[in-house]
A and B are shown apart, each in its own frame.
Chain A
Amino acid sequence: MASWDWQLYCTDMVTEEVAPKCFGAPGYETYLDAMIHGWGWTMFVSVLGLLVALVAGSLIGILRTVPNRKLAMFGEAWTELFRNIPLIVQLFIWYHVIPRLFPILDLPPSVLVVIAIGLFTSARISEQVKAGILTLPKGQRYAGQALGLTLPQTYRHVLLPMAFRIVIPPLTSESMNIVKNSAVAFAVSIPDLAQFALQASEQSSFVQIFLPVTLLYFISAYAINRLAKMIEWYVRVPGILGAK
């Protein structure tokens, strides 16, 4: 294998000229510029997707445990729908089909990708949230209602504070998954890291492009994992749930 060409990263992607500065030189778009830009897209899609997934997933997870059968069925149907279709197919539907069927949803591609990844992940999160609520002893729910709390109050003050702390460890791994899953966005030409890797490797040595891109994914997933672990430690309930 040829020696490592460090200068490649400071080269303009179109003109093949070496830029005076590797990053952010005016008038140039170096490989490094494009890679950082792609990384920004990956993080944008992942973080916003995670937010959508957390909100939608928690709501659906809660719905699946309420006594109202219709609401619970809706939650189950939602979860089965978003869990049993591959992410890339869901992405194509959000990107190619929905904007044309419903003109109101003719949103920018980045928003559509965030929705697609967010709702896909919401099915997995709802599963965790439901499991978290169901592991609580039934007595807690009855105790809340015996004290005269309404059902929403029972959830808000009794069930959810415990349930969410139980589900944080599985949610941590889900937050890593979303960074990895966001790589699918290349298929609808979002200029994320994977898309950069595909384009840039066409015009230069693929190892030199793929190695840093893979490392960036690795680091990003790891960083999100550390962050979630910190939150987990911060909100732990003393005395139970493996808290030390």
Chain B
Amino acid sequence: MTQLDFSFLTWEVLSSFVAKGLWFSIQLTFSAMIGGIVLGTILALMRLSGRWWLERPAAIYVDTLRSIPLVMVILWFFLLIPYIAGPLGAEKTALITFTLFEATYYSEIMRAGIQSVPKGQVFAGYALGMNYKQTMGLVVLPQAFRNMLPVLLTQTIVLFQDTSLVYAIGAYDLLKGFEVAGKNFNRPMETYLVAAVVYFVICFSLSMLVRRLQKKIAIIR
């Protein structure tokens, strides 16, 4: 049985190896969340537009990406993007990939959100003389967004966990930061354990926050 020794993990070690990775994971999560929700909302509107030439491409895009492992999607983009946009490096590639990939999950959430708004709201919008854009932007989407806020945030926690898969293309994220520290001090077991604890603390506290938010929203409605 091997003894665990965590004494090498000082603040200096953490700030020089891990902080950079944590910052990248957070950046990646936030930009993919914002980009994913915007793109996902557009995809959801396309699928609900009632026009086949908008519906079909959106449905194919969403269904295809959702049935492929994220690892494969990351590798595809990593190898394809250099052909299209020139070499971008693992970090930027990860940013593009996660935005495009998570948009499919956010789009399903937004689609359910839009469908949860009663039809009468749309009719009321049109009856007031609003056009499609105004009805969607001022009446339907704000309510859909609010109804789905807890689910969107839960998906963001999943997204944060998924960012650890950039391991496949060697981007320097939170997990990589711990791994590099572990290799440098020849203490891989300790760093993997601490990595697990850090991921757990972040994800668990975020999900507690989402739960509280859910209760708050439920009271107002």
Contact = CB atoms under 8 A, between A and B. Distances in A.
Contacts of A80: 204
B82 to A, nearest CB: 11
A211 B200 CA distance: 35
B189 interface: yes
Contacts of B193: 93, 97
Given A89-B195, A97-B193, A222-B67, A187 B79 contact: no
A124 to B, nearest CB: 11
Given A89-B195, A184-B165, A194 B188 contact: no
A210 B68 CA distance: 11
A97 B182 CA distance: 12
Interface in A75-101: 80-81, 83-90, 92-93, 96-97, 100-101
Nearest to B4: A101
A134 B189 CA distance: 40
B1 interface: yes
Interface stretch (A22-30, A136-144, A175-183): A175-183
A117 interface: no
A108 interface: no
A89 B2 contact: no
B207 interface: yes
B75 A198 contact: yes
A176 B195 CA distance: 28
A90 B161 CA distance: 11
A101 B190 CA distance: 11
B86 interface: no
A214 B199 CA distance: 29
Majority DSSP secondary structure for residues of A touching B: helix
A86 B70 CA distance: 13
B167 interface: yes
Interface in B150-168: 161-162, 164-165, 167-168
A50 interface: no
B210 interface: no
A183 B67 CA distance: 12
A32 interface: no
A217 B72 contact: yes
A207 to B, nearest CB: 8
A61 to B, nearest CB: 18
A86 B199 contact: yes
B203 A84 contact: yes
Nearest to B202: A84
Contacts of A221: 67
Given A88-B175, A89-B199, A101 B2 contact: yes
A101 B5 CA distance: 12
Contacts of A112: none
Instruction: From A92, A210, A217, A221, name the one whose CB has the most chain B CB atoms within 10 angstroms.
Output: A92
Nearest to A218: B67
Interface in B182-214: 188-189, 192-193, 195-196, 199-200, 203-204, 207
B200 A81 contact: yes
Interface in B45-66: none
B129 interface: no
Nearest to A90: B196
Given A96-B189, A101-B1, A186 B79 contact: no
A182 B193 CA distance: 21
B71 interface: yes
The 9 A-B residue pairs with the shortest CB-CB distance, nearest first, are A183-B69, A84-B203, A86-B161, A86-B164, A180-B69, A183-B71, A97-B189, A84-B204, A84-B200
17 contacts: A84-B161, A84-B203, A86-B161, A86-B165, A88-B167, A89-B196, A97-B193, A100-B2, A101-B2, A180-B69, A181-B69, A184-B69, A210-B75, A210-B76, A214-B68, A214-B72, A222-B67
Given A85-B161, A86-B175, A198-B168, 15 more contacts: A84-B203, A84-B207, A85-B200, A86-B165, A89-B195, A92-B192, A93-B193, A179-B69, A180-B68, A180-B70, A187-B168, A194-B75, A201-B79, A210-B79, A217-B68
